[in-house]
């Protein structure tokens, strides 16, 4: 039997005429840096990566990134020193920190005051991409991180990536964090079948080791909230995956 899984797609095209957004990834865990780079390239961004603080500073110098993804735990110097050096010569670049969940929240909190942001490890790729997009959009250094709006619209369904608000037909709907990310991923790929594996890859944390049927479960949750009563927008393609599209 053939498992049919949909090809993967991106929502928007890739600003073919503009110089691409440049992102520097700084993390000493190679596989993680690799994973991030792949995901960010897929967003149409140009990516360079460095494995330590010294390398980061060097790379920043000639790469001149529009944003930096920075692990706060690095072998040679800690993230804060790296940040200091980056800022010294390159004041405005927005930074997305990667930090362990239990790590000193306060220090990070202070840092993000400047308009930077952070995500805790383990993260989901959707999360990182979304935050980065927000940072770049707000920094304005590169005019667009692929889209100018922070709102996704499919039919009468609206999702605001900034406020995390969802509404259908004007009526506000409460969704949990996971539901939100799943819905965002679906809405960024409207009318495109997304396989359970793809969804798992993007929406769940990279170290998630659970059952693939969480996806089914959350689809079920979303349907109860989004499609309840109304014309269904979330559709199952048996043997292939799920897709969202406006009701007729």
Residues of span 45-84 touching its own copies by CB under 8 A: 47, 80, 83-84
CA 92 to centroid of chain Cα atoms? 21
Q: According to CB under 7 A, which one of 7, 31, 170, 209 is a site residue for DNA?
A: 209
Judged by CB under 7 A, the number of residues near DNA is: 27
Q: According to CB under 7 A, which one of 126, 204, 226, 244 is a site residue for DNA?
A: 204
**Residue 162's closest CA among 184, 178, 140, 185?**
184
Footprint of DNA on residues 139-178 (CB under 7 A)? 174, 176-178
Beta carbon nearer to DNA, 82 or 125: 125
- Picked from DNA, its own copies, none, the partner binding residue 187 (CB below 5 to 8 A depending on kind) is none
Kindly report the length of the chain.
Answer: 248
Prior bond to 76 cis, omega within 30?
no
Q: Whole-angstrom Cα distance, residue 69 to residue 134?
A: 13
Plot region of 203 (φ>0 → left; ψ -120 to 50 → alpha; else → beta)? alpha
Q: Least CB distance from residue 204 to its own copies, whole Å?
A: 7
Q: Structure tokens of 115?
A: 């308009």
Q: Is 130 in the site for DNA (CB under 7 A)?
A: no
Footprint of its own copies on residues 194-233 (CB under 8 A)? 197-198, 200-206, 208-209, 212
- Picked from its own copies, DNA, none, the partner binding residue 202 (CB below 5 to 8 A depending on kind) is its own copies
Look-up of token digits 């929502």: 11
Q: Whole-angstrom Cα distance, residue 169 to residue 156?
A: 5
Beta carbon nearer to DNA, 62 or 207: 207
Q: Is 143 in the site for its own copies (CB under 8 A)?
A: no
> Residues near 113 by Cβ (< 8 Å), separated by ≥ 6?
none
Q: Is 240 in the site for DNA (CB under 7 A)?
A: yes
Footprint of its own copies on residues 89-108 (CB under 8 A)? 91-92, 101, 104-106, 108
Judged by CB under 8 A, the number of residues near its own copies is: 85
- Taking the CA atoms of residue 47, residue 115, residue 136 and residue 189 in that order, the dihedral angle to the nearest 10 degrees is 100
Asked whether 166 and 159 are in contact (CB, 8 A), the reply is yes
Q: Whole-angstrom Cα distance, residue 135 to residue 33?
A: 19
Site string for its own copies, 158-197 (x = CB under 8 A): ---xxxx-----------xxx-xx---------xxx---x
Q: Least CB distance from residue 98 to DNA, whole Å?
A: 17
Asked whether 48 and 59 are in contact (CB, 8 A), the reply is yes
Beta carbon nearer to DNA, 4 or 81: 4
CA distances from 100 to 48, 71, 96, 190 (A): 23, 9, 13, 33
Binding footprint of DNA on the chain (CB under 7 A): 1, 3, 174, 176-179, 196, 204-205, 208-211, 213-214, 216-217, 219-220, 223-224, 236, 238-241
């Amino acid at each position: 039997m053939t498992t049919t899984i949909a090809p993967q797609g991106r929502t928007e095209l890739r600003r073919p005429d503009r110089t691409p957004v440049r992102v520097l990834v700084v993390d000493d865990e190679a596989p993680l840096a690799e994973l991030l780079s792949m995901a960010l390239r897929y967003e149409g961004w140009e990516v360079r990566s460095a494995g330590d603080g010294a390398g980061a500073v060097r790379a920043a110098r000639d790469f001149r990134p529009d944003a930096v993804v920075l692990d706060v735990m690095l072998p040679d110097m800690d993230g804060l020193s790296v940040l200091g050096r980056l800022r010294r010569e390159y004041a405005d670049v927005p930074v997305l920190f990667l930090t362990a969940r239990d790590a000193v929240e306060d220090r990070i909190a202070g840092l993000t005051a400047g308009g930077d942001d952070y995500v805790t490890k383990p993260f989901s790729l959707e999360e990182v991409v979304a935050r980065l997009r927000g940072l770049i959009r707000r920094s304005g250094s590169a005019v667009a991180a692929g889209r100018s709006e922070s709102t996704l619209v499919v039919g009468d369904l609206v999702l605001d990536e900034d406020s995390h608000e969802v509404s259908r037909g004007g009526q506000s709907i409460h969704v949990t964090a996971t539901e939100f990310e799943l819905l965002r991923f679906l809405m960024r790929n409207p009318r495109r079948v997304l396989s359970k594996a793809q969804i798992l890859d993007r929406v769940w944390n990279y170290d998630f080791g659970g059952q693939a049927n969480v996806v089914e479960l959350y689809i079920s949750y979303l349907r109860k909230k989004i499609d309840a009563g109304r014309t269904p927008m979330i559709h199952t393609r048996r043997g292939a995956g799920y897709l969202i599209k406006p009701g007729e």
